[in-house]
Chain A
C-alpha cells in the first residue's frame, strides 16, 4: 500500500524540479572556492619591488575609522589622511567606522565568509588562522621591508611572529597588550591598602580582596568572568601567571588538571564562598567587571591596560582612579593585540598603498598614533603602557615621549611596567578550550559545594576530546 505521507502530483513535481534547478543555480553562484590569487592580484615579482607609482590612482577602504561620537579621534584620523596625502596624493583613503568595538566576532566572521571585508581590515592577533581558512588576507611579506616600514627592525619579533604563518607575513600590528592586575586605587586606599603596591601573588590578592570586600555596601574585592568563554580565557591567564599551561606543548592534551589548576580553582572557590569577597552575582562576561570597577564596586581583576580607556571613554571613569600591577605569580602572561590585514586579491599597488598608510598611521614613532603631543592636545589618554611593541632605542624614545605628554599619572602603572612578564600566546583551539574551562569557572563561582577535582577531570576529558576532534 502506498504511503499517504507524501503524494507527489504532476504540479508539485514540476515545482520541485523548478525549485531545485533555481536553488542549484543560486548555490553554484554562491559556492566559494579557493582561488589561486597569490595576494598580489596576479602581479609579478617586479611589480612588488617597484615603488608605488604616483600616477596610479589607488582607493583604499579601511575599517576602524573612529566614529563621529569620538570626535577628537576622528579629527586626528582626518588630519593623518591629509598629511599622508601630501606624500601620496594618488591614494584615496576611504575610512569606514563601526559602532562599538572595531571587531565584533560575529560580524567579522560573517564578513569573511561573504568576502566583504574592506581592503584593509582590522583583526585580533588570534584571528590569523580564521582569516587564512577563509582565504581572506594577502601575503605581504615581500611588501614589508625596512624601506617601506623603517621601524620594522624595532618591532618585537614575538608580535610579528603571531602575524606569520609558514614564514609568510599577513598583517601589521597596531596595538598589543599583556595582561596584568587592574586595581581601583580609591578602594585600595579606603581599605587601608597601598595602591602603589598591587598584590603580586594570589595569597596577597586574597588578603587584599577580603579587606576591600570588608568595606561593605555591595563592594567586591576581586572579580572574575565565567561566561561566554571569557571564564576560560581568564583561567588560562591565571595558569600562565603561575607558570603553568592549559594545553601541552604539542597541543594534543589538556594540561590543567594538576596542582596548579586545582590551586587556581580552589583559590577562586574560597574567595567566593569562604571569604565572600567576589560578590554574589556571577556568570559575568567581558564588560561586566569593567562596569563594576568603574563605579567603585570592585577592587581588582585581571585585565589589559586598554580596559581603562574603555572605562574612561565609555563609562565615565577617571584615569587617576586606576593602577596596574603584574599578573599574580608573574611567571608568564597572556598576550594579545590587534592588527590590520590586507584583503586577498588586492592589486600590488593597493597593497603598497596600504603598507604605506599603515606605516604612517600605526608604525612610525612620532607620527599617527604615536604623535603623543597631539594626543595630549586633543585631551585623549597618553601614558597607558599600550601599544608596547617597539624594542630598543625606538621603545625608549617612545616611552620618553609618552611620559613627557602623559595625561594621566603614569606612576600608577609603574608596578606593571617595572616588572615586565614574558608574554605567552593563547593555546591552540583557544575558544573551544575556553568554552570547556568556562564550566570550571562557573562551577567554582556558583556552586558552594563544587567538586573541584571532578570539575577539572571532566574539563580535562572534554578538552582532550576537543583537541582530538579535527
Chain B
C-alpha cells in the first residue's frame, strides 16, 4: 500500500479569515462563466426530476405505505412481507433468472458471433447489416404477434416446417418445458440487431495489423478470435453483458404478449409481470412498489459488484 500523502498526525490546516470571501468570489465567477451551460441543464434536470427521480422517490415511499378505505398509512415492512409470502414470488424469480440465463446464452453469444461473421464479409456488408437490424425497426407488438403465429400449435409455421422432417407437432408456447425457451428465441430475434451493430463497430475498430501479426504467427480463425478479437472488444463485451442482464431481468413485453401473461402453469410469469399484476389487477400499489424495490436493489447490487470486478480487472 502506498504511503498516505498526508500523515494522520499532521495538524489540520488553519483556514485564514480571508479565504472565505475569496472562495465565494471564485464560486460566483465560476457560476457566471458557466451560466449558459447551467441554463441548458435546467431542462434536463427538470425532466429527470419529474419523470425519473420523482417517480423513484414515490415508489420508495409507496413501498412502505398502504391504502385502505381511503386512508394512506405507513405500512412498515408489511408490503415486503406480502411480496415474500406471495406463492408467485419465487416462481416469478425462478422464471426471470431462467429467462436471463437463456437470454445470455442466446442473446449475448449470437449477436457477437453474427457480428464476427459480418465483419468477415468483404461484399454486401451494408445489406446484411440492414437485414440483421430490420427486426429492431419493427414495432415489438408486431414482431411478437408474428412469432405467436409461428408458434401456434394448430396452424403455426414452425410445426409446418418440422412436419416436413417427420417431427411431430410441438406445443411451443403452450408447454411448460418449451414455453420459456420459445420466448427467449423470439426476444433474441427481436433485439439482437442493436447489439450486433455495436459489436460490429467494436470489431471494425480493431487494427488490422493485429490480425496480420496473428496470421504471420500461424493463428487460425478461432485463435484469432480468442487472442485478438475478444481481448480487443473486452470493454464493450463487458458493458453489453451488464446491460443485457439489467434488461433481461426486467423482461415483460415478450412473455406478456406471447403467452398472455403467465404462460402454462405460470411458467413464463416474470417479476415485472408480477409487479404489473399487483398494481393493475390487484390494486396493490404498495406490493408493486415493494417488489420493484426488491428488483432495484438486486440489480443495483449486481451492477455495483460487476463494476467493482471490472475495475479490479482493469487495475
Chain A: minimal CB distance from B42 (Å): 12
B173 in contact with A283 (CB, 8 Å): yes
B70 in contact with A228 (CB, 8 Å): no
Q: A22-B49, A227-B261 are in contact. Are A465 and B280 (CB under 8 A)?
A: no
Docked complex: B219-264 residues within 8 A CB-CB of A: 259-264
Contact with B along A426-465 (1 / 0, CB 8 A): 0001011001101100110011000000010000011001
B280 in contact with A105 (CB, 8 Å): yes
B53 in contact with A439 (CB, 8 Å): no
Contact with B85, one of A134, A280, A469 (Cβ below 8 angstroms): A469
Docked complex: A149-207 residues within 8 A CB-CB of B: none
Chain B residue at smallest Cβ distance from A165? B69
**Which residue, of A135, A283, A431, A462, has the highest number of chain B Cβ atoms within 10 A?**
A283
Chain A residue at smallest Cβ distance from B53? A23
Contact with A along B73-116 (1 / 0, CB 8 A): 00000000010011110000000000000000000000000000
Contact with B277, one of A132, A435, A446 (Cβ below 8 angstroms): A435
* Bound form: Cα–Cα A469–B154 in Å: 40
Chain B: minimal CB distance from A145 (Å): 25
B261 in contact with A27 (CB, 8 Å): no
Chain A: minimal CB distance from B220 (Å): 41
Contact with A132, one of B50, B54, B69 (Cβ below 8 angstroms): B69
Whether, in the assembled complex, B26 has its beta carbon less than 8 Å from a beta carbon of chain A, the answer is no
For chain A, the bracket of interface size reads 35 or more
* Bound form: Cα–Cα A1–B4 in Å: 11
Chain B: minimal CB distance from A427 (Å): 14
A34 in contact with B58 (CB, 8 Å): no
Whether, in the assembled complex, B285 has its beta carbon less than 8 Å from a beta carbon of chain A, the answer is yes
Whether, in the assembled complex, B122 has its beta carbon less than 8 Å from a beta carbon of chain A, the answer is no
A283 in contact with B259 (CB, 8 Å): yes
* Bound form: Cα–Cα A149–B289 in Å: 42
A431 in contact with B282 (CB, 8 Å): yes
A133 in contact with B67 (CB, 8 Å): yes
A432 in contact with B265 (CB, 8 Å): no
User: Which B residues lie within 8 Å of A344 (CB)?
Assistant: 70
User: Which A residues lie within 8 Å of B260 (CB)?
Assistant: 227-228, 283-285
Q: A5-B304, A106-B280 are in contact. Are A133 and B87 (CB under 8 A)?
A: no
* Bound form: Cα–Cα A32–B285 in Å: 13
Whether, in the assembled complex, B68 has its beta carbon less than 8 Å from a beta carbon of chain A, the answer is yes
Whether, in the assembled complex, B313 has its beta carbon less than 8 Å from a beta carbon of chain A, the answer is no
User: Which A residues lie within 8 Å of B153 (CB)?
Assistant: 280-281
Chain B residue at smallest Cβ distance from A431? B281
Contact with B along A314-339 (1 / 0, CB 8 A): 00000000000000000000000000
User: Which A residues lie within 8 Å of B85 (CB)?
Assistant: 465, 468-469
Whether, in the assembled complex, A26 has its beta carbon less than 8 Å from a beta carbon of chain B, the answer is yes
Whether, in the assembled complex, B40 has its beta carbon less than 8 Å from a beta carbon of chain A, the answer is no
Docked complex: A207-253 residues within 8 A CB-CB of B: 218, 227-229
Chain A: minimal CB distance from B183 (Å): 12
Chain B: minimal CB distance from A166 (Å): 9
B82 in contact with A470 (CB, 8 Å): yes
B152 in contact with A228 (CB, 8 Å): no
Q: Could you list which residues of chain B lie within 8 angstroms of chain A, going by C-beta atoms?
A: 1, 49-50, 53-54, 57-58, 61, 67-72, 82, 85-88, 152-155, 169, 171, 173-176, 259-266, 277, 279-283, 285, 304, 308, 311
**Interface pairs A-B: 4 shortest CB-CB:** A135-B70, A227-B260, A462-B87, A280-B154
Taking A31-B61, A443-B265, A468-B85 as known contacts, 6 extra A-B pairs with beta carbons closer than 8 A to each other, sorted by chain A number, are A26-B49, A136-B70, A229-B281, A432-B282, A436-B88, A447-B264
Can you give 10 A-B contacts (C-beta < 8 A)?
A105-B281, A132-B69, A228-B261, A280-B169, A282-B174, A283-B260, A435-B281, A447-B175, A447-B265, A469-B86
